[in-house]
Structure 1
Amino acid sequence: MRFNKVAKLVSLACSGMVAVSAPVYAAETEESVERIEVTGSRIKRIDMEGASPITTITADELAKSGFSTVGDALRSSNLNAFGSWGGGSNNGWGSQSTVQLKGASAFHTLTLLDGKRMAKSPVMDGGAANINTIPMAAVERIEILTDGASAIYGTDAIAGVVNIILKKDFEGVQFDARLDRPEQTGGDSSNLSFTGGLNSDKGHLVFTVEHYEQQKIMQKDRWYTQPFVVEGGDPNDYQDWVNISPTGRVLTQGGAGGWVYSAPFSNSDKSCSDVYGDAFLGPLDDSDYPGDTLCAYDYTRAAATSTDQTRNNTLIHYNYEITDQIELTARAYWASNETIDISAPVPASISIPNGLPAYTTDEGLDLVELVADPDAGMNYRFDTAGDRVAEHHDNIYDILVGLDGSTDNLDWDISFNYNKYDNYTWGTGYQLKGATTDLVGQWNDQTNSFEGWDPRDPNSEMPAGATANYDKRMAATYVDINGGLSFELFELPGGAAGMYVGASYREESLDSKVAALAEAGQIVGGNGGSGGEGERDVTAGYFEMAMPILDNLELNLAGRYDEYSDFGGTFNPQVSVRYNLIEPLLLRASWGTGFRAPTLSDLYQGTSEGFGYIKNYLNCYEQGESIDSCSRWDYGPTRTGGNEELQPEESESYNLGVVWEISDQVNISLDYWSLETTNLIDSLGASEIVRTQAKLWEAADAAGVARPDVSTIYPGTEISRLGNGKIDYVVSQKLNVGLSEREGIDVKVGAGFDSDYGDFNFGLGWSYFLKYKSSYSSAGVQILSDDEAGREGTPDHRVNLTADYSYGDHVVSYFGNFIGSQKSWDVVDGSWDPDAGQTEDDGKLYEIDSIFYHNLTYTYTLPWNNSISLGVTNLTDEDPQFAYDGTYDADLYDIRGRTYWAGFRQSF
C-alpha cells in the first residue's frame, strides 16, 4: 500500500497488562514499511501512538494476568472505571458480560471484532455486545481506544472503542487446557481450546475451537450473601435485616380487616421456622408499619449468586491473495452459550376475597383469621413448587467477506458482514397469576372443618395447576456493507496529505417475544418482558484526512453523517492533532461529538415488569411526614416500555495528552479527558415518579386546586395504590431525561530492563476521575448532581500494576487491580449529637474501604514445544467491600475468592 509519509512515529510497546507505546522517529527513507489500520482510524499508517490514546493488550499479556476469559480481563482493567456487569443470577442478563469505558453506560462502549461491529445482544436490548462470547484462544490482541469515535464508527462509540483483533498469522497446531478451583465453594471453571493454522504461497487459514465451563456460586456459599442484622439493629424488626424477603407467609388484610399485615398463626410458642421450615424467619415486626407482623423468607438458601455456564466457540479466518493487488478476507464465527440461572421460589400474592376463618389445625396450629374483603389475600413464597430455573441459550453467527486492493494511486476496500444473535430462555417454576385464588379451599359448616388447600397451613398440600413456564425468544440481526477509498491529496512540508472516504449501509432487526401469558402479565416471578419488534436501515457517509503539516506536526480531520430510517440523521465531526515538541516528547489533542441511536428495543419495547423496593412518598405525605425525609419503603412491580418518540443521545468529548520516551527502557503517557453527554435515554425510577406525584399533591393542596396526575409531568407514567396506601405498581416508559459530565486523567507507564540475571518488565495504568456529575429528575426538571467522583459505586481511583520476570524457560508474572475507597451516602449512626444542636448533616459519612487484588502466574517452558502454568487469582482472598447496609457492588468486586489454577499448552 502506497500511503507514504502519513506519519513519522513507530511504537515501542512495553510488556504488561497496561502496555504503553512511546514514539521514536522513523528513518527518512522511501523503503517499504508495513502500514496497519489502527483502532480509531481507517487510514493505514506505520505508527500506533497517535492523536488519540490507545491501550494495547496482547494475548500473552492476557494469559500472564491470570484471567481465563476475555470478559474477566476487560472488566478488571483500570479503564473500566466503575466496573461492569459480569453475569449473575435472578435476572434476564444472567448470560451476559459487558465493559464500560470511562464509567459510562455499556451502551456507550462500541465493541469491534477486527474493526467491524460485533453482534449486539438482544438480551441487552441490542445496545451492547456480550463479551462472554469471545474465545480467549482466538485473540491476538485487544486495542482499547479511550476517545470518542462516532466520527469514525457511528453510533455507540461515545466513551470509546474496544477492538478485539483475532489471530491471523498462526501456523501449526496448539492445544490449551486450564482448570480453576476456588478455595470457597462454587465457581469452579475449566476451558479447553484447539488452534490450528495453515500457510500457502497465497493464502492463510486459522481455525480455533474453545470450550469453557463454570459452576454456579450459591448465595448460601458466601457469608456476606447470607441473612444478617445490620450493626446495632433489632433482630425482631424486618427493616433491620439484610438478605431476606418480606414475602414468606403473610396475611394481607383488606379494608374490612383494617389493612393489617400479620403472620398466619398466633401460637406464641412457635416460630415461623418451626411451622414453615428453616428458610423462614420470625414472626418479625415492621417498624415502617407498626402493628404489622410477618414470616420473612431466607431466599439465599435456594438462590444462586452466579450462574452455571457452558460456552462453545468456533472461529475460522482465511486470507487469500487473488492477485498481487487484491486480497480476499473471509471469516466465520459461531458462539453457543448455555447458562443456568437458579432463583429462589416465586414470591407472589394470592387474592382471597372470601377470607379464611380462624381455627386450630389437628397439629395444634392456631390460624389467624383473614377477614373477607375484595382486597384480602396472602403474600406467599411458593417454596412448595420448587425453585425458578431459567435456561438461557445464546447463539451468535457472524460471517464476514471482504476485499482489499490497491493501485498505483489509491487503496480501496469493501466488506459484507452478517451477524445474528439468538437467545432463547426456557423458564420453569413460575406461577400463573390468579390461578392460586381458585385453588384455595373453604370452611365447611356441615363438617365443621376446612376443605381444600389452606395456604396458612404447612400440612395442607397445594393442588396442581398454579405453576407455569416463563419462556422468551429474542433475535437480533445485522447486515452491514462498508466500502471506501484511501488516496493521497497533495504534498505538505511533512509529507503527502492523505484522505479516506467511505460509505456504509446497515440493516437492523429485532424480534423479541415472550410466551403469551407472560406478555399479558399473567406469569408471576419472571423478568425481562418483550423487547418488541422493529427494523430499520442506516445509511452513512464518512471521511478522514491526515495532514502532516510539518515533519513533527500532524492534523487529522474526520466527519460522519448517519441517516436512520426511524428518527432521522445526525452529523458528527472530529479534529485531532499531534506534535513532537522534541524527538522523544509527543503532545496530542482531540475534540469530537458523538451519539448513540435509540435501540430498536428503546423504541418498540413491549411492557415488562420488574420487582423492587419503592419509596412510598405518597404515604409519608398523607401521614403528615416530610416528603424529603420519607423513609417508608414498599416492595412492588414497576412496568416499563419503549417510546417511539425518542431521540439520539449526544456527547461532546476532548482529550489532551503527552507521551514521553524517557529512555529506551522507560516511557510514560498522560491524558486528560472530558466527556459530556446529553439527552440520555432512561426509564424513570419508580420512587422518583412517586416522589413527583407527592410533590404535585403538596403544591396543589397548598394552592387549593385539584391534584394533577404525575403523567402531566412525565408522559406515560402511572401509580396504582392499595387501599392502605401501599404501592400496588408503578408504570414508567423510556424518555430522553438524562445528562452527565465527566473528567479524568489516564496515566500509563512502561519499563523494561535486561540483565544477566533475567529480564524485567513493569507496567502501570492509573485512571483518576476528576469529576463525575449525573442528572436526576425532580418534578420534570433535570438537575445536575454535585460531584460524585469517589462516592459509592463511582471510585475515583482505579490502578493496574504488572510485573514480569523471565529467566530462561521460567517466567513469573504479577497483576494487581486496585479499586479506590468510596464515601457512602449514608451517615453513620451516632456520629452526630442532637443535644449539642447538631443535625444529621454534621454526621460522618460511612466510607467503603479500598481493595487491592493480586494475581500471580508462573510459567515453565518445557523442551517439547509445551509449557505448564500455575497461578492464583485474588491471592489474599479479598471479600467484596460493603456498603453501609451490608450489600456490595457486584460490578466492582470479586466473589470467587482465592482461586488456584493450572494450565497446559502443547504446540506442534
Structure 2
Amino acid sequence: MKLNRLAQYVSLACGGLAAIAVPTFAADNSDETVERIEVTGSRIKRIDMEGASPITTITADELAKSGFSTVGDALRSSNLNAFGSWGGGSNNGWGSQATVQLKGASAFHTLTLLDGKRMAKSPVMDGGAANINTIPMAAVERIEILTDGASAIYGTDAIAGVVNIILKKDFEGIQFDARMDRPTQEGGDSSNMSFTGGLDSEKGHLVFTVEHYESQKIMQKDRWYTRPFVKEGGNPEDYQDWVNISPTGRVLTQGDAGGWVYSTPFSNSDKSCADVYGEAFIGSLIDSDYPGDTLCAYDYTQAAATSVGQTRNNTLIHYSYELTDSIELTARAYWASNETKDISAPVPASISIPEGLPAYTTPEGLELVELVADPSAGMNYRFDTAGDRVAEHHDNIYDFLIGLDGSAENFDWDVAVNYNKYDNYTWGTGYQLKGATTDLVGHWDEDTNSFVGWDPRDPNSALPPGATANYDKRMSASYLDVNGGLSFNLFELPAGDVGMYIGASYREETLDSKVDALAEAGQIVGGNGGSGGAGERDVKAAYFEVVLPIIDSLELNLAGRYDDYSDFGGTFNPQVSIRYNVIDSLLLRGSWGTGFRAPTLSDLYQGTSEGFGYIKNYLNCYKEGEDIDTCDRWDYGATRTGGNEALKPEESESYNIGVVWEVTDEINLSVDYWSLETTNLISELDASEIVRTQAKLWELADANGEPRPDVSSVYPGTSISQIGNGKIDYVVSQKLNVGLSEREGIDVKLGAGFGSDYGDFKFGLGWSYFLKYKSSYSQAGAQILSDDYAGREDTPAHRINLTADYSFGDHALSYFGNYIGSQKSWDIVEGSWDAEAGETADDGQLYEVDSVFYHNLTYTYTLPWNNSISLGVTNLTDEDPKFKYDGTYNGNLYDIRGRTYWAGFRQSF
C-alpha cells in the first residue's frame, strides 16, 4: 500500500535536521486497516501525515547523527531557527536558558509543547518562553516543528510556529548512553550520561529516563575575539577606538567646581595604569568624544566568562494503561534540575566623594591627582579589590500530567490535567552596596599631614569591609491546565465523513518573581535581571476544528478558538487551510489564520529593574549646537524599566502556500511560501530613542518660543536624568505596545534515499530564505516601518542545513552541514568613498559580515553485543564567529566552542 511505503520513507529518505516530513497522498483502495494519527497543528486524528500546514520531523536517530549532545544545540542549529536564538551565555540573568525562534521572530512567538501540552515556561524569561535546556535528549522520540501560525488550535504564543517534543512511549528494555565532548580550544568541555528503561505488561507500558549533563565555562580571555583590541586603523591611545574594554576602571569624575573633567587618578608620566593598578587596567587613555578627559580603562575579559558552567539532571516517567477496551490512562511525571555558575567581572560602579580628595604623593611615589570638593564629585571605580561577581542559578521544573482517552460508538473523547511549576533561585555574591563606599572613603588629617583611611586612588590602600553585598533572586511560575474535547463525524459528504473536534480548557497562571529588599530598592550595584513582579490570572478557552472532504482530492480545514483572559479580556482567532492532490504524487496546500500573544504576567506587573549600557546623548549634542540627527556622543548610563498593566495582546496574521512533490519513489520535494505580519508588539523603548525624542521636543519648542515639554508627553511613563555636565545619569522606560513587523520567506525541503549493494545512502536539504523582513522603530512617538532588513546585519537571508548518511552493515557515517549566509552591514568601509569629492557616506561600500559553513561528522560502529560506539567532530574546520565592523559578533548565530571532538557509547539489554 502506497501510504505505508511513504510513511516508512519519512525516516529513510532524510537524515539530520534537514529531515523532510514526506507527503502521504491519497491511499489506494485496500482492506488493510490504517491507524489514524494525531499530528502537530491539529486535534483531529487522520490517516495522512502531510497536511495543509508544513511540518518538519526530526527523529531521535537524526538528532544523534547531527553530532549535537543536547536538544537545545540541535534546535538552535536548524535552518528554521533563521536568525539564531539565545543559547545560554554569561554575564546576564539568562545564563541558564536556551530558546528557539522560528521565522526569526521572538522566542515568545514560538510555542513549545511536550507531547502536545504546553511546556513549563521559565520565570527567568518573564514567563514568556520555555527553556529548551531542560529537555533530556535521551527521552526524545522525535520533534515535530510546525512552521505555521496555530493560535486557532493552541492559543497564545503560537504566532510563528510550534515545536512539539514527542517523548518515548514504546521503548522496551534497558539502554545506557554516555558521551564526552572536548573542544580543541580552551574551555567548553562537556559530558553526559543517560539511562532509559521500558517495561511492558498485557495492558500497560512504562518508560523512564534519567539523564545527567555537565559543561564547563568558556572565559572571554580564552578566545582572541573576546579579548581587548584596537579597531583597524584606530588610535590605541583613544578609548573610543578600543573593543572589549570598559571605561570604568579608575577615573576621577570632577564636579562643577572641577570643570566636569574626567581624569586618570595619578599624574606620574613614567607609569601606566597597568603599572599602578594591575595588568587588567589599560591606559592612561584619552576620550575623543570628550576632549580633555583621560581615564584608566579596564579589561573585564580577564575575569568574565562568555558561557556558563552547567550541571543538569533530568528524570522522566511515562506510563500508559488500558483501563478498559475503550479507555486508556496516561500519566507522566517530569523533573529537571539545572545548576549554572555565571562569572562576571568585578562591579563597575561610581563612588560619590563630595568632600573631594587632596593631591599628594604616596610613600611609594604615586602622584595622586586632586578631586575638587563638589556635590557631584566622585570616582568611577572597578571593584576588582572586592572580587568577581558570581551568580549561581538553580532551576527546578516539575511537570505532572494525567489524562484519559476513550471511544464510544459515535465519538472519541479525551480529558487531561497538566500541572507544571518552574522555580529559579539565584545566589549572587560580589556586588556593591550603593552609597556605602562614600562613607568608607578616608580623609586628610591636618595634624599628621597624611591621608587617613581608604583612598580609592591608591592601590596600596586596602578596601575596608562593608562595600559589598549579595544580589539574590527568587522566581516561580506555575501553570494548571484542564482540557478536554470530543471528536466525531458530523455528516457524510460524497468524498467522506465530515470530522469535527470541539474542546474547552481552563488554565491558571501565577508568577512570583522577587529580588532581595536592597536590590528592589535599587541599592545593589552590578546586578541584573531585576524583579519580574507578581501576579496571577485564569484563562478560559473554547475551540473547534472541522475537516471537510470536498471531493476525493480536496480537503478543507476550518478551526477557531476563543480565549478569555481575566486581566485583559477576550480574543478570537480563526484559521482556514486547504490541501489538494492534483495527482497522487503532487500536493498543493495553503492556509490563513490570525494569532496572538498575551502579555505575560511580568509584562503587566514587573517591578523596576536597572541595566547599564551606552546611550547616545542627543541632548548634549543639541546643547552644544550640533545637529541632533548626526549626533555621535555616547554615555554609559543606566536604563530603568518596568511593567505596564495597560498592555494589550500582540496580534498576528499569517498565511502559507506550498507544494509537495514526490518526484520519484526515492526523491521528495516541498516548497512553502509564508507570510507573517505582527502588530501591537510589546517592547521596551530604547533609551537613546527616549533621549532623541526629548531633544527633538526641545528643538521644536525653542524654535516656536514655547516651554519645553517633557518626553513623557509622547512616551508615557518615560523620563531622563542628567548630571551637571550634561552626561546621562539614567533613563526611565516601560513596556508599551509600540512595535510591528512584516516577514516573508520560502522554506524548501528536499530528501532522497537510495539503496545499493554497497550500502544505503540518504540525503537531505533544508533551506530557509527570507524574502522580506521589516520591523518598526519609534521616532518621536510614531512607528516607522523600516527598510527591508533581510540579508542585513544579524538577519541572514539564507540558512541551509545539509545532511548525508551512508550505512553499510555495522558501519554508519553521517554528515551535517549548517550554513549561515552573509549579511550586509550598515557601516561604510573606511576609505571606500571620497568626502572631498562631495560624495556622501551612502555612496560608499557597505561592510559585509561573511557567511559561515559549519560541518559535523559522525561515525558509528555497531558491536555484536547490543552496543555501539560513536566518534564525531562538530565544527570540523574550526570556524570562528563572523564579525561586524566594530569587531563584535552575534552570539545567537555563531559557535564559540570551535572544533570539538566527541566520543559516545551505547549499551542496550
Common fold: TM-score over 0.5: yes
CA offsets per residue over residues 93-145 of structure 1, 9 Å max, x none? 00000000000000000000000000000000000000000000000000000
Which residue number in structure 1 is paired with residue 15 of structure 2?
16
Q: Do structure 1's residue 539 and structure 2's residue 540 form an aligned pair?
A: yes
Which SS does the other structure have where 2:23 is aligned?
A: strand
* Aligned pairs (5 A) from 1:97-136: 97-136=98-137
Kept in 2, the 8 Å contact 1:11–1:47? The answer is no
Which residue number in structure 1 is paired with residue 805 of structure 2?
804
CA offsets per residue over residues 834-860 of structure 1, 9 Å max, x none? 222211111111000000000000000
Kept in 2, the 8 Å contact 1:8–1:26? The answer is no
2: CA distance between counterparts of 1:641 and 1:262?
35
Count of paired positions: 903
Kept in 1, the 8 Å contact 2:698–2:709? The answer is yes
CA offsets per residue over residues 174-215 of structure 1, 9 Å max, x none? 000000000000000000000000001100000000000000
2: CA distance between counterparts of 1:718 and 1:886?
32
Kept in 2, the 8 Å contact 1:271–1:282? The answer is yes
1: CA distance between counterparts of 2:316 and 2:877?
37
2: CA distance between counterparts of 1:170 and 1:132?
23
Aligned partner letter, 2:89: G
Q: Do structure 1's residue 484 and structure 2's residue 504 form an aligned pair?
A: no
Q: 1:496 to 1:8 in 2, by over 3 A?
A: farther
The offset of 1:704, in angstroms, is: 1.0
Q: Do structure 1's residue 867 and structure 2's residue 868 form an aligned pair?
A: yes
Which residue number in structure 2 is paired with residue 759 of structure 1?
760
* Aligned pairs (5 A) from 1:819-834: 819-834=820-835
CA offsets per residue over residues 857-900 of structure 1, 9 Å max, x none? 00000000000000000000000000000000000000000000
The offset of 1:675, in angstroms, is: 0.1
CA offsets per residue over residues 762-810 of structure 1, 9 Å max, x none? 0000000000000000010000000000000000000000000000000
1: CA distance between counterparts of 2:637 and 2:528?
13
Kept in 1, the 8 Å contact 2:871–2:902? The answer is yes
2: CA distance between counterparts of 1:11 and 1:651?
36
Kept in 2, the 8 Å contact 1:8–1:552? The answer is no
Which SS does the other structure have where 2:25 is aligned?
A: strand
CA-atom RMSD, angstroms?
1.1
Kept in 1, the 8 Å contact 2:25–2:581? The answer is no
1: CA distance between counterparts of 2:803 and 2:568?
46
The offset of 1:15, in angstroms, is: 2.6
Which residue number in structure 1 is paired with residue 434 of structure 2?
433
The offset of 1:7, in angstroms, is: 14
Aligned partner letter, 1:191: N
The offset of 1:9, in angstroms, is: 9.0
Which residue number in structure 2 is paired with residue 297 of structure 1?
298
Aligned partner letter, 1:19: A
Q: 1:136 to 1:814 in 2, by over 3 A?
A: same
* Aligned pairs (5 A) from 1:210-359: 210-359=211-360
Which SS does the other structure have where 2:862 is aligned?
A: strand
1: CA distance between counterparts of 2:63 and 2:505?
33
Which residue number in structure 2 is paired with residue 853 of structure 1?
854
Which SS does the other structure have where 1:305 is aligned?
A: strand
Aligned partner letter, 1:665: E
2: CA distance between counterparts of 1:548 and 1:635?
63
Aligned partner letter, 1:253: Q
Q: Do structure 1's residue 895 and structure 2's residue 889 form an aligned pair?
A: no
Q: 1:249 to 1:903 in 2, by over 3 A?
A: same
Aligned partner letter, 1:835: E
CA offsets per residue over residues 542-576 of structure 1, 9 Å max, x none? 00001111111000000000000000000000000
Kept in 2, the 8 Å contact 1:10–1:49? The answer is no
Which residue number in structure 2 is paired with residue 724 of structure 1?
725
1: CA distance between counterparts of 2:771 and 2:745?
5
Which SS does the other structure have where 2:269 is aligned?
A: coil
Q: Do structure 1's residue 42 and structure 2's residue 63 form an aligned pair?
A: no
The offset of 1:659, in angstroms, is: 0.1
1: CA distance between counterparts of 2:830 and 2:347?
35
Aligned partner letter, 1:388: R
* Aligned pairs (5 A) from 1:452-531: 452-531=453-532
Aligned partner letter, 1:213: E
* Aligned pairs (5 A) from 1:650-665: 650-665=651-666
Which SS does the other structure have where 2:218 is aligned?
A: coil
The offset of 1:10, in angstroms, is: 5.6
Aligned partner letter, 1:841: D
Aligned partner letter, 1:590: S
2: CA distance between counterparts of 1:156 and 1:628?
37
The offset of 1:58, in angstroms, is: 0.1
The offset of 1:490, in angstroms, is: 1.0
2: CA distance between counterparts of 1:614 and 1:384?
28
Which residue number in structure 1 is paired with residue 81 of structure 2?
80
Aligned partner letter, 2:377: A
Which residue number in structure 1 is paired with residue 667 of structure 2?
666
Which SS does the other structure have where 1:601 is aligned?
A: helix
Which residue number in structure 2 is paired with residue 3 of structure 1?
none
Which residue number in structure 2 is paired with residue 179 of structure 1?
180
Which SS does the other structure have where 1:24 is aligned?
A: coil
The offset of 1:34, in angstroms, is: 1.1
CA offsets per residue over residues 66-101 of structure 1, 9 Å max, x none? 000000000000000000000011100000000000
2: CA distance between counterparts of 1:30 and 1:592?
37
Kept in 1, the 8 Å contact 2:26–2:581? The answer is no
The offset of 1:359, in angstroms, is: 0.3
The offset of 1:48, in angstroms, is: 1.6
Aligned partner letter, 1:527: N
Which SS does the other structure have where 1:782 is aligned?
A: strand
Which SS does the other structure have where 1:538 is aligned?
A: strand
Which residue number in structure 2 is paired with residue 447 of structure 1?
448
CA offsets per residue over residues 438-489 of structure 1, 9 Å max, x none? 0000000110000000000000001000110000000000000010000001
Which residue number in structure 2 is paired with residue 644 of structure 1?
645
Which residue number in structure 1 is paired with residue 549 of structure 2?
548
Aligned partner letter, 1:447: T
Aligned partner letter, 1:275: V
Kept in 2, the 8 Å contact 1:177–1:905? The answer is yes
The offset of 1:11, in angstroms, is: 7.4
The offset of 1:609, in angstroms, is: 0.5
1: CA distance between counterparts of 2:665 and 2:493?
31
Kept in 2, the 8 Å contact 1:69–1:136? The answer is yes
2: CA distance between counterparts of 1:552 and 1:686?
56
2: CA distance between counterparts of 1:208 and 1:672?
39
2: CA distance between counterparts of 1:581 and 1:367?
85
2: CA distance between counterparts of 1:98 and 1:174?
28
2: CA distance between counterparts of 1:772 and 1:834?
32
Which residue number in structure 2 is paired with residue 704 of structure 1?
705
CA offsets per residue over residues 203-236 of structure 1, 9 Å max, x none? 0000000000000000000000000000000000
Which residue number in structure 1 is paired with residue 684 of structure 2?
683
Q: TM-score, normalising length from structure 1?
A: 0.99
Kept in 1, the 8 Å contact 2:638–2:731? The answer is yes
Q: Do structure 1's residue 63 and structure 2's residue 38 form an aligned pair?
A: no
Kept in 1, the 8 Å contact 2:772–2:790? The answer is yes
Which residue number in structure 2 is paired with residue 139 of structure 1?
140
Which SS does the other structure have where 2:794 is aligned?
A: coil
Q: Do structure 1's residue 769 and structure 2's residue 777 form an aligned pair?
A: no
1: CA distance between counterparts of 2:583 and 2:720?
65
* Aligned pairs (5 A) from 1:385-464: 385-464=386-465
CA offsets per residue over residues 668-724 of structure 1, 9 Å max, x none? 000000000000000001001001101111111111111100000000001000000
1: CA distance between counterparts of 2:850 and 2:338?
36
2: CA distance between counterparts of 1:511 and 1:830?
54
1: CA distance between counterparts of 2:441 and 2:7?
77
CA offsets per residue over residues 48-72 of structure 1, 9 Å max, x none? 2100000000000000000000000
Kept in 1, the 8 Å contact 2:815–2:858? The answer is yes
Kept in 1, the 8 Å contact 2:23–2:49? The answer is no
The offset of 1:625, in angstroms, is: 0.9
Q: TM-score, normalising length from structure 2?
A: 0.99
Which residue number in structure 2 is paired with residue 611 of structure 1?
612
Task: Show structure 1 runs of 5+ residues with no match.
Answer: 1-5
Aligned partner letter, 1:733: Q
